[in-house]
A and B are shown apart, each in its own frame.
Chain A
């Protein structure tokens, strides 16, 4: 994976309009590679701790983001 795997036609498209080229998922995948280091792990976030509801996952994320949202759960 990576830019070296693009064919001549793709390279031309990429050079002409990189933003348009990247907007296509297949092209993005080819450039980024989506290996273990370059994968957005959103599904993993949902599964990181068993038994948490979506709202609880959001609370956890907010806690890390340090955003000014109010929280409703008690400590621990």
Chain B
């Protein structure tokens, strides 16, 4: 890393990253179900066509009634799964509550319901409180849902003045077919396309695709814009691969069946490990662990350009989870993270909370 680089470019990227990191928690994602009528091979959520877990409707109503307590903090609610449209009643409960407190609502769906133009329009008109549609398609989704569904849903959403993005997952083996599919999507969606890569986690961990692993770790910090409430009420800090880590790790922020949403948000603002990741990424966490007695457990290779995969790998190891749970209470580390949050991300809550704590002040005085 000794090539001379332009300071202005570094500042520009720092600002770009800051813009994505500020206001953590402004987006709250909710998964009503991990059921899905599809069974895509690359699904990192490991969504199931039968069985699976549904969020209790009472829990959905409880979350809806608590949203107003976080008015101004939460500005966007994302609905995901599984397939959210398997729970139309629950979509209505949350989206009405969200809109009434000024938050927009987006949904991620395979568009399986948009079998005809008329049906697509009927569903979108029935969901007037949804403002954003994310329609997932790629070579794996196409085995279950034809592209005409995506086109129907896209056009019906546009007709109803909704924002629409086609979410396209690349890396599904045949790059020529992928290019052709992308050209087909461009014909109706233009630039309303968001490309993402396969995360080899969950069911995707068993794919035969060749993933690009390298020795170097991605230096990008955690870019999550807010937590996800999973179908069992567990709250995790992002809707990415951590959903696939089935361990009891220190990034579990709470459970809405036990604590109120605002309590979970308040506790989250002082979660040492989460904010460590936001500041210094899985790269930094790896370096921290490298200096510990657990260095022999660390993965030797990392998914190219993908800090989330390294993060999930680390939190999938119970010994590391236990070590980090202890470390998260360390005086020195808490102070570093609280200071970093204040300096880099202009977030004062953590440091304010630390200085309210008499034990902390005593320890500081003893230094």
Contact = CB atoms under 8 A, between A and B. Distances in A.
Interface string B104-138: 00100000000000000000000000001010000
Contact of A75 (B20, B195, B220, B361): B195
Contacts of B209: none
Contacts of B332: 2-3
A76 B175 contact: yes
Contacts of B132: 68
Contact of A23 (B335, B342, B364): B342
Nearest to B186: A74
B163 A71 contact: no
Contacts of B14: 40, 42
A22 B13 contact: no
Contacts of A31: 335-336, 339
Interface string A31-53: 11101111111111111110000
Given A42-B14, A58-B16, A36 B3 contact: no
Interface stretch (B4-12, B150-158, B243-251, B318-326): B4-12
A3 B13 contact: no
A72 B9 CA distance: 21
Contacts of B351: 18-19, 22
A53 to B, nearest CB: 10
Contacts of A76: 170-171, 175, 178-179
A60 B223 CA distance: 12
B285 interface: yes
A9 interface: no
Given A15-B364, A47-B1, A41 B194 contact: no
A22 B342 contact: yes
A58 B20 CA distance: 11
B336 A75 contact: no
Contacts of A47: 1, 3, 5
Given A18-B351, A63-B195, A65-B225, A75 B291 contact: no
A37 B219 contact: no
Interface residues of B, number: 69
Give chain A's interface residue range (CB within 8 Å of chain B): 35 or more
Interface string B217-254: 01111010100000000000001100000000000000
Contacts of A48: 216, 218-219, 305
Given A19-B351, A28-B339, A63-B196, A37 B16 contact: no
Contacts of B365: 11, 15
Contact of B194 (A57, A60, A68): A68
Interface string B172-196: 0001001100100000000111111
B223 A74 contact: no
B17 A61 contact: yes
Nearest to B165: A68
A2 B367 CA distance: 10
A18 B355 contact: yes
B146 interface: no
B263 interface: no
A33 B336 contact: yes
Contacts of B335: 2-3, 31
16 contacts: A3-B335, A19-B342, A19-B351, A32-B336, A32-B340, A40-B344, A42-B219, A46-B9, A46-B10, A49-B305, A63-B194, A66-B194, A66-B223, A68-B106, A68-B163, A75-B195
Interface of A: 2-4, 6, 11, 14-15, 18-19, 22-23, 25, 28, 31-33, 35-49, 54, 57-58, 60-76
Given A3-B335, A23-B342, A70-B194, 5 more contacts: A25-B343, A38-B280, A42-B219, A43-B1, A66-B196
Instruction: Give the top 10 A-B pairs by smallest Cβ distance, nearest first.
Output: A41-B219, A37-B287, A44-B219, A65-B223, A70-B191, A37-B288, A36-B287, A75-B170, A28-B343, A37-B284
